[in-house]
């Protein structure tokens, strides 16, 4: 099936199919700007050649550092088994970052202060501690519950008008 798909493909939605196993390498299309693989049963690390995928499910390991080379504006890595520290490198174009329900540990690095257009940040259900740096001040939505909060207190969700 995959070999019959046009190399000019720019949108691929395979969500809600219960597809099992590792992602085939044939899905690496040069013009794809959106791929939704959610609600399947893919397993393994996030493949480096899928750096333009905005939504992953059921992957493990660390976030590949190759993602810093792309101009993503939205990423949903929630509901995975991703682990390690939150990356200190981060692109400056993110509008939405959803890393909820993973196994991340550590702090939010000061480099995240460069996220000037970030409006939605969801870090719920990880082991993040130390609070949100005060320089991250453009958020309209923050979800940070079930973390070791430190000085941030117990406020876990807010919306800015």
CATH, residue 74: 3.80.10.10
Average pLDDT over residues 81-105: 87
Q: Kindly report the number of other CB atoms within 10 A of residue 75's CB atom.
A: 20
One domain for residues 74 and 48? no
Instruction: Please tell me whether residues 41 and 90 are part of one structural domain.
Output: no
Domain check: are 144 and 74 in the same one? yes
Could you tell me if 9 and 42 lie in one domain? yes
Number of independent structural domains in the chain: 2
Instruction: Give residue 20's domain range.
Output: 1-58
Instruction: Give 151 or 100, the one with higher predicted confidence.
Output: 100
H runs (alpha helix) in the chain: none
Identify whether the C-beta of residue 60 lies closer than 8 Å to the C-beta of residue 82: yes
Same domain, yes or no: 51 and 119: no
pLDDT range class, residue 33, cuts 50, 70, 90: low
25 and 98 part of one domain: no
User: Is 40 in the same domain as 74?
Assistant: no
**Do 51 and 78 have their domain in common?**
no
Is residue 56 a contact partner of residue 79, using CB atoms and an 8 Å limit? Answer: no
Shared domain check, 84 and 26: no
Residue found by looking up tokens 């893919």 in the block: 42
Same domain membership, residue 76 and residue 155:
yes
Would you state the pLDDT for residue 156?
A: 39
Q: Is residue 63 included in any domain, yes or no? A: no
What pLDDT is stored for residue 125 in this prediction? 92
pTM above 0.75, yes or no: no
| pLDDT exceeds cutoff 50 at 161 | no
Q: Which of 19, 34, 58 is the last residue of a domain?
A: 58
Is 119 within a domain? Answer: yes
């Amino acid at each position: 099936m995959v070999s019959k798909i046009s190399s000019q493909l720019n949108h691929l939605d395979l969500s809600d199919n219960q597809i099992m196993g590792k992602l085939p390498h044939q899905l690496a299309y040069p013009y794809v700007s959106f791929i939704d693989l959610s609600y399947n049963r893919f397993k393994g690390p996030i493949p480096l050649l899928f750096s333009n995928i905005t939504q992953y499910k059921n992957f493990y390991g660390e976030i590949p550092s190759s993602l810093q080379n792309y101009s993503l504006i939205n990423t949903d890595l929630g509901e995975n088994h991703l682990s390690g520290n939150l990356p200190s490198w981060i692109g400056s174009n993110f509008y939405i970052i959803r890393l909820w329900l993973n196994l991340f540990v550590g702090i939010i690095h000061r480099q995240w202060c460069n996220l000037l257009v970030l409006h939605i940040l969801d870090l719920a259900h990880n082991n993040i501690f130390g609070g949100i740096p005060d320089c991250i001040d453009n958020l309209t939505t923050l979800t940070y519950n079930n973390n070791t909060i430190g000085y941030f207190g117990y406020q876990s969700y807010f919306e800015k008008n």
